[in-house]
Structure 1
Amino acid sequence: MRARLWNIAAVGVLLAGTLLGGSSVHAQTPPVATLNPAPVTAALDEIDAWLGDGENGVRWRTYLKADQLRAELGKGAEADPLLLNQTLTRLAGKANGLQLEPFQKLRKTLAVYANEVGAGYQGDFAKLAAADVGNYKPLTPEEFAAIRANMRDKAQALVAAMGGNSPLAQNWKKFLLWDQLAPNFDDNAEVSRGTLLQLDEVLNRFRANQPGLELPVFTDAARAIAKYRALASWGAAAQSRDLRSEYERLLNSLGTELQRHLERPTTETGWKVGRILGVIDNLGHSNDFVQLIRERFAQKNISAQFSVNFVDRMPNRNLDQVRPVRDCILGTSIFGTAHTLGSVRYELQPAEDKIQLMVHLDGLAQSRTRGYNGPVVINSQGQTTYTASKRISISDALFEADPAVASVDTRTHINSIQKTGGQFAAGLITKVAWKRASQSKAQAERISAEHTRQNVIKEFNERVAKDLGDARLRYQQKIRDPLVRRDMFPDTTRLTSSPEGVAADSTFAARNQIAADSPRPPVKPGQDLTLQIHESAVNNYLPIALASARISQETAEQQPILDGNVPNWIKVLSVKKPELAAAAATGAAVVNSASKTLDQVVEGQADERGPNDPPALPPFKPYSITLNPEAPVGVRFDDGKVVIRVRASKLVSDDMEYSNWDFIITYAITQADDRIVLKRVGDIEVFPTGFDPAWDKQMTAQQSGFRSTLAKNMNARANAGESFPAEIPIDPIRITNVGTLLLDQLEVQDGWLTIGWILPPAAP
């Protein structure tokens, strides 16, 4: 029983799936409740009567655009929310007299009516954004001071927890760039581009994958700093001017990107929606609108399903061991050996908010023993059958197990009884011994069975506790803690189990990110393992893995070096497949070559190559590429392809430096037996960061010329095998206890990647 009887590794696999329905078209506009503009019209009539027909009344009506407002009130549900909110904006202004009761009454009634109109545009986010402009409230100096004070308090609490000025605190402060953070605590601290960039560096340290940063005292400080960073520019600017127009532009931009994302999503639309949404969410003026967006664009974006067959095949090995036997029963000291054979099986239990399963252990032990009692030795053989079971429950909050129960049955056969110490009176003694042994055999078997049952329960409990503890530790260290440090741990994760299998789904998105905008597609029946990933989950993870990563190469013979606080598995991949790292970094040399080609054209030097000749490949020169810290890479899943956009914030080569150029590569996702193979299709495209070719139409002349030359050079390198590889094979998944999984489904459509496997036939 001391050998490993079962394997809780299956539990870790099941839970790991957690971190790995609707349509994406416009929602129909629901019928609007009967709009009643009468209160607004009555308030306008009162203002008209109150102001009269004099010059002052005309000026006020012009200021309020009263005629346009009356026209919109007559349109009912077709009223333009932007025009309604323009009047609300004027009524919330600082013009002398707006504080008087007639204007305040108009403002209150119009605000109610504008919200009613906005409720009719549930499928039109552009109009919903316009309708929400009236909810803007200036960020007052007192509110901004409170945000700064909260950051200061959380930082001081962190210092106290680290031991004040202890060596531990000094080391942490050095790592966290405390010298850059501390000046922001002052009530008169300057807010500038430089101080904000320094805060970004501080936040990157607070959200590094450094053990310890997952502790609440660190995460609380990080959130307070992030809140201050998000609102610092707003708070500083609000002290000198009204930012209502900026907020209006922000909302209108969000509405535009939301509509684009619904109609034709790209790698850029989701990124732009998320970054604007994060600002508006932090300002807290449009909570209802933000909530509406999250309900529509933050559906679950990772799903994993495991069949009961998969779970049944997970125990790592059957028990087959020979162990010594030591016992004392009814005064007989027993010694010998036992050969034990056992098997482990899992039985899934129905549970809605966790994974619950029974672990069953069935065993058979055959023993040969000698029992010493007084002048005789008893040679016996026995057979013991036992069963034990234990219920395990797994959730993010808890890995726990109920006490084990067991039943044991022992049957023995006495082969011989011999007298020890000479043969005097041996016959009589053995005869008496046989009689007594026969009389006490049933009782001895019951006692032996009970001893075995207690040992089985004890060792079963200890082993499951150890394995559960190991699984919890791996989950905590490998999955939960890194995500908590990055402030990316999913708010919504659902685990369920049933006799048919296990399912896990999650929404993986930060506050400044969106998730899926449509439910996951159906999967083929009969699969043992299905993984469905929405492109948003990948895009939301990549900033964790690659933010500010730097790829460099000093010589042609040297492999590219990947620097930065990136996960170990990515560093290992960069070593195993250096061509992938080189592909991302090739852009630096290409940009340099493209720049020189453009310089020659500007200076009037002739290009000796023909119009159809491929660009000449420049010789190797040291280079480096630094990825965009906010969104290093974006992906789009659709039409059987993955579009990858590599965003480079800095490209350096040959003493030249270039900023914010992106490379777009398209791969078809294909199946070759049980491998997934990415095959590059079409040309590599090049655009300035933020330029969306699906929606944006114009670049500057300089950008356009630079882009054209850069794209030619990049594609020439790719075709020569020196850049993004033509094919990227992904090896099949092999699980130790199961074998190589057989790829059964591979679909890429509407933002979702669906992969399904079946298990290979079980070995005899």
Structure 2
Amino acid sequence: EERAQFDIVLTGLANSNNVGYNGPVTIHSTGATTISGRKRLYVNDLGLSDSPAAASCATNSNIYSIAAKCGLIEKVAWKRAGQQQGQAERIASSHAAWRVQGQMDTRASNLMANANKDYTEKIRNPLSRRDSLPRQLRFRSQPDKIQMISLQQSPIQLGAPSDPPAAKAAYDVTVQAHESAVVNYGEAILGGVTLTDERLEQIIRDDLKGEVPEELKVTQDKDPWSITFTSEVPVRAIFGEGTVNLAIRGRRFTRGDQGINEPIEISALYKIEKTDKGSKLTRQGEVVVKFLQRERLGAPQIAFKTFLTRKFEALYKPEIVSEGVALKGQFAKAGKLQVQEISTGKGWVVLGWNLVPPATPGVVDVPTGKASVAARD
């Protein structure tokens, strides 16, 4: 079994003010407990798993006041407190370690349950239903990184003819992808699927959290429309030197009560640039709507071509700007993943992101201390 492993490391210092009672004696003290916890997680093609957390704590206490009804009792209490202080600190340290272990196990369990649910329902099960799970999905870990290698290729599909080009530097996140992955995953996910205007609007608004272009908003005064993707090469990307040509292919298109049943490719060429804050794709020329089995178009085809050009110009925007990937949940305060490298050529794209802290430093809400994630062998 190939799996990667990494540790969630928790360190912290807990300070306390304590009041204890023993018969007629009242004891006032302060405590300082250093906390060190470690929780190991594993990831493979089935998702996340774990091993029990381990923690060690060390408590140091300082008794600064003992009050009693008479001086003799107070003197005896001070003596006994000094004799029992070491044992009390060991007990407090042990209890703190058990609490830390329990909290780490509980929080990691919730994290894994949510992550595995999303992975299973949104990625693994849909691919499995279409008999399109990756041919290979391998995870490996080294002291400074976790690596995932995916090969999506059926017996009749093409794959990358060469190893990926190396990134220019070591980044927090690096992606090396061949254009064949776009085609092969596209066939697995979109091949033969019908996409309606309502579903497209929902994907942009709800899944991508984007603003729906006016042309793609579903209203009563617009004809409903749909596209049924081809089974082979429903989407493609061609990575040239500093460019990417994006295309989708459909075998059936509808508009209102009209339909057209022949393969059409809709594409756009973009120039890729890295900016100070991220990346920018600039469309080169117009959106191209091509009837793959026709050289001459009749009136029905011209009408559909005009309609599709208008719709897909809203998707293939003249300029696509990205200023980073915002993290979600409690990690949002950590900042954004900002592109440091975006290079294309010979069918490959290499992307590198580094985590850039926000302008105003924030503190991630971890009640028991600081949390970090470390890759381990």
- Superposition TM-score, scaled by structure 1 size: 0.41
SS in 2 for 1:477: helix
- Counterpart among 667, 670, 673 of residue 276 in structure 2: 673
Task: Tell me the residue number matched to 2:295.
Answer: 704
Structure 2 residue 263 is the aligned partner of structure 1 residue 663: no
Superposition pairs of residues 360-399 of structure 1, within 5 angstroms: 360-397=9-46, 399=48
Higher strand share: 2
Q: Does the CA-based 8 Å contact 2:137-2:150 persist in structure 1?
A: yes
- Counterpart among 642, 649, 660 of residue 251 in structure 2: 649
Task: Tell me the residue number matched to 1:562.
Answer: 199
Residues 430 and 686 (structure 1), Cα distance of their counterparts in 2 relative to 1, 3 Å cut: closer
- Counterpart among 333, 341, 353 of residue 745 in structure 1: 341
Q: In 1, Cα distance between the equivalents of 2:209 and 2:42?
A: 38
Task: Tell me the residue number matched to 2:140.
Answer: 496
Structure 2 residue 227 is the aligned partner of structure 1 residue 626: yes
Deviations 1:545-577, CA, capped at 9 Å, x for gaps:
4743244xxxxxxxx5337xx994686459723
SS in 2 for 1:706: coil
Deviations 1:724-749, CA, capped at 9 Å, x for gaps:
53223345212224312332211121
Q: What is the CA distance between 1:681 and its match in structure 2?
A: 1.6
Task: Tell me the residue number matched to 1:354.
Answer: 3
Residues 407 and 549 (structure 1), Cα distance of their counterparts in 2 relative to 1, 3 Å cut: same
Superposition pairs of residues 120-519 of structure 1, within 5 angstroms: 353-397=2-46, 399-419=48-68, 423=69, 426-519=70-163
Q: What is the CA distance between 1:428 and its match in structure 2?
A: 1.9
SS in 1 for 2:160: coil
Q: In 2, Cα distance between the equivalents of 1:635 and 1:575?
A: 22
- Percent identity (aligned): 31
Deviations 1:74-114, CA, capped at 9 Å, x for gaps:
xxxxxxxxxxxxxxxxxxxxxxxxxxxxxxxxxxxxxxxxx
| One-letter amino acid of the counterpart of residue 290, structure 2 | F
Higher helix share: 1
Residues 433 and 684 (structure 1), Cα distance of their counterparts in 2 relative to 1, 3 Å cut: closer
Q: What is the CA distance between 1:758 and its match in structure 2?
A: 2.4
Q: What is the CA distance between 1:671 and its match in structure 2?
A: 3.0
Higher normalized contact order (CA 8 Å, seq sep 6+, divided by chain length): 2
Deviations 1:232-268, CA, capped at 9 Å, x for gaps:
xxxxxxxxxxxxxxxxxxxxxxxxxxxxxxxxxxxxx
Residues 640 and 527 (structure 1), Cα distance of their counterparts in 2 relative to 1, 3 Å cut: same
Q: Does the CA-based 8 Å contact 1:364-1:384 persist in structure 2?
A: yes
Q: In 1, Cα distance between the equivalents of 2:54 and 2:10?
A: 10
Q: In 1, Cα distance between the equivalents of 2:205 and 2:237?
A: 17
For structure 1, the 5+ residue unaligned runs are: 1-351, 552-559, 586-619, 692-702
Task: Tell me the residue number matched to 2:177.
Answer: 533
Q: In 2, Cα distance between the equivalents of 1:577 and 1:411?
A: 59
Q: Does the CA-based 8 Å contact 1:562-1:571 persist in structure 2?
A: no
Superposition pairs of residues 29-40 of structure 1, within 5 angstroms: none
Structure 2 residue 362 is the aligned partner of structure 1 residue 725: no
Residues 549 and 570 (structure 1), Cα distance of their counterparts in 2 relative to 1, 3 Å cut: farther
Q: What is the CA distance between 1:640 and its match in structure 2?
A: 2.4
Q: Does the CA-based 8 Å contact 1:673-1:743 persist in structure 2?
A: no
Deviations 1:655-698, CA, capped at 9 Å, x for gaps:
65432133333222233333433322235444333x5xxxxxxx
Q: In 1, Cα distance between the equivalents of 2:215 and 2:185?
A: 19
Residues 430 and 748 (structure 1), Cα distance of their counterparts in 2 relative to 1, 3 Å cut: same
SS in 1 for 2:297: helix
Residues 669 and 414 (structure 1), Cα distance of their counterparts in 2 relative to 1, 3 Å cut: same
Deviations 1:325-360, CA, capped at 9 Å, x for gaps:
xxxxxxxxxxxxxxxxxxxxxxxxxxx932212332
Q: In 2, Cα distance between the equivalents of 1:395 and 1:724?
A: 35
Q: What is the CA distance between 1:414 and its match in structure 2?
A: 1.6
For structure 2, the 5+ residue unaligned runs are: 363-377
Q: In 1, Cα distance between the equivalents of 2:23 and 2:120?
A: 57
Give 1 or 2 for the bigger CA radius of gyration: 1
Q: What is the CA distance between 1:452 and its match in structure 2?
A: 2.3
Q: Does the CA-based 8 Å contact 1:686-1:710 persist in structure 2?
A: no
Q: Does the CA-based 8 Å contact 1:530-1:756 persist in structure 2?
A: yes
Q: Does the CA-based 8 Å contact 2:204-2:210 persist in structure 1?
A: no
| One-letter amino acid of the counterpart of residue 62, structure 2 | H
SS in 1 for 2:295: helix
Q: Does the CA-based 8 Å contact 2:45-2:138 persist in structure 1?
A: no
Residues 514 and 380 (structure 1), Cα distance of their counterparts in 2 relative to 1, 3 Å cut: same
Task: Tell me the residue number matched to 1:602.
Answer: none
SS in 1 for 2:236: strand
SS in 1 for 2:162: coil
Residues 370 and 489 (structure 1), Cα distance of their counterparts in 2 relative to 1, 3 Å cut: same
Task: Tell me the residue number matched to 1:344.
Answer: none
Q: What is the CA distance between 1:524 and its match in structure 2?
A: 0.7
Deviations 1:533-555, CA, capped at 9 Å, x for gaps:
2222222233414743244xxxx
SS in 2 for 1:403: coil
Residues 647 and 358 (structure 1), Cα distance of their counterparts in 2 relative to 1, 3 Å cut: closer
Q: In 2, Cα distance between the equivalents of 1:710 and 1:499?
A: 59
Q: What is the CA distance between 1:504 and its match in structure 2?
A: 1.0
Q: In 1, Cα distance between the equivalents of 2:236 and 2:87?
A: 73
| One-letter amino acid of the counterpart of residue 755, structure 1 | L
Q: In 2, Cα distance between the equivalents of 1:723 and 1:630?
A: 22
Task: Tell me the residue number matched to 2:368.
Answer: none
Q: Does the CA-based 8 Å contact 2:289-2:308 persist in structure 1?
A: no
Deviations 1:451-506, CA, capped at 9 Å, x for gaps:
22333333333333333333333322232222222222212112111112111110
Q: In 2, Cα distance between the equivalents of 1:570 and 1:547?
A: 23
| One-letter amino acid of the counterpart of residue 630, structure 1 | S
Q: Does the CA-based 8 Å contact 2:138-2:148 persist in structure 1?
A: yes
Residues 504 and 370 (structure 1), Cα distance of their counterparts in 2 relative to 1, 3 Å cut: same
Residues 365 and 727 (structure 1), Cα distance of their counterparts in 2 relative to 1, 3 Å cut: closer
Residues 704 and 397 (structure 1), Cα distance of their counterparts in 2 relative to 1, 3 Å cut: closer
* CA RMSD, Structure 1 to Structure 2 (Å): 3.6
Task: Tell me the residue number matched to 2:374.
Answer: none
Deviations 1:360-397, CA, capped at 9 Å, x for gaps:
22222221111111221111112222322233222224
